[in-house]
Amino acid sequence: MIEAIDLCKKFADITAVDGLSFEVKPGEVLGFLGPNGAGKSTTMKMLTGFLPPTSGSARINGRDIGEDSLAARRLMGYLPEGAPLYGEMTVIDFLEFIANARGLNGAAAHSAARAAADRLHLERVLYQQIETLSKGFKRRVGLAQAILHDPDVLILDEPTDGLDPNQKHEVRKLIQDMSSDKIIIISTHILEEVEAVCNRVMIIAQGRLLADDTPAGLIARSRYHDAVTLVIDQPEQIASALSELPEVSKAELNEGELTVFPAGPGLFDAVSKAIASHEWDVRELRLEPGRFDEVFREITGGQVS
């Protein structure tokens, strides 16, 4: 379990992280979501023991990251922001170095390095110098070093940054495969990624925790949640007709799409019936799950920092 207690970090005159407290349990894939400069990376740097907090503390499976730092660090795998690597080393040398530093020796180090490389599909570039690799490969080498010792806790700062859609899919699958018994924290500003891999989301802006919920719970906060959108001819007429229904609170027109918002349950059925009885020619009809980007903007107040 990870326990963060009132974590604060101040740099000279700016407060990067301002009193974050949370717990994460095994099996949870927690997404840190927030605008750039929100304090996501700084929080991760404190959790992994790289930066000492200005105040507050964090414990990894009961080990304090400040007082029992080495023991806490052994439990974690970490991909720092931008996936920094020793460019002059070959992939296999680098992974074996990490394995050695993690206390593995000789054959055990080599097989752990190979296994991690296989999981990230690095077989082809094992003996290539890291600085000659593409961005996608570098990111995967960074991920391989993080998972190499099969840690209880994985902290990944923007794990899919710079990957193409196929590689993103692969990495997300890897995270899901590992998630059952581990604690995984990822930071991202890609909303779809949170929906794809996380079962918990913390929205952070200006160093403060603004929301802590499941992705579904967050999406349900959207005003679009359970709204119905239609694509039809003559939307104005139909909008006024639908507004009469007791289940409809409001109808909005937007770029040829008509969205009606619910006043209570049963909106979709009511709209379907109305369509059938009036024999409207509907080209598209969909139930809105809610819009994540809208919730995100609302919670973070549209800040650009």
Rule CB under 8 A: which residues touch another protein? 11, 45, 48-51, 70-71, 73-74, 76, 78, 80-82, 84-89, 93, 97-98, 100-103, 105, 129, 145
Least CB distance from residue 148 to another protein, whole Å?
11
Question: Considering beta carbons, is residue 53 or 215 the nearer one to another protein?
Answer: 53
Q: Which amino acid is at 291?
A: R
Q: Which residues contact 58 (CB under 8 A, 6 or more apart)?
A: 2, 3, 4, 5, 7, 46, 47, 64, 65
Tell me how far, at minimum, the Cβ of 155 lies from another protein, in Å: 9
Closer to another protein by Cβ: residue 141 or 270: 141
Of 48 and 179, which has the nearer Cβ to another protein? Answer: 48
* Residue 170: CB minimum distance to another protein, A: 22
Please say which residue, 88 or 233, places its beta carbon nearer to another protein: 88
Bridge-partner residues for 286, per DSSP? 229
Smaller CB distance to another protein: residue 128 or 199? 128
Class of residue 68 by CB neighbours under 10 A (exposed 0-12, middle 13-18, buried 19+): middle
Q: How far is the CB of 84 from another protein (least distance, A)?
A: 3
Alpha carbon distance 245, 224 (integer Å): 18
Residue type, 69: S
Q: Report how far residue 226's alpha carbon sits from residue 216's, in angstroms, rounded to the nearest whole number.
A: 12
**44 or 201, CB closer to another protein?**
44
Neighbours of 62 (CB within 10 A): 11
Nearer to another protein, 40 or 223 (CB): 40
**Smallest distance, Å, CB 150 to another protein?**
14
135-147 helix and 165-178 helix, angle to the nearest 10 degrees: 10
Q: Calculate ∠ Cα 124-88-155, nearest 5°.
A: 75
CB of 175 to another protein, least distance (A): 19
Residues 120-153: b if buried by 16+ CB within 10 A, e if exposed = bebeebeeeebeebeebbbbbbbbbbbbbbebbb
Rounded to 5 degrees, φ, ψ at 23 are -125, 145
Tell me how far, at minimum, the Cβ of 30 lies from another protein, in Å.
18
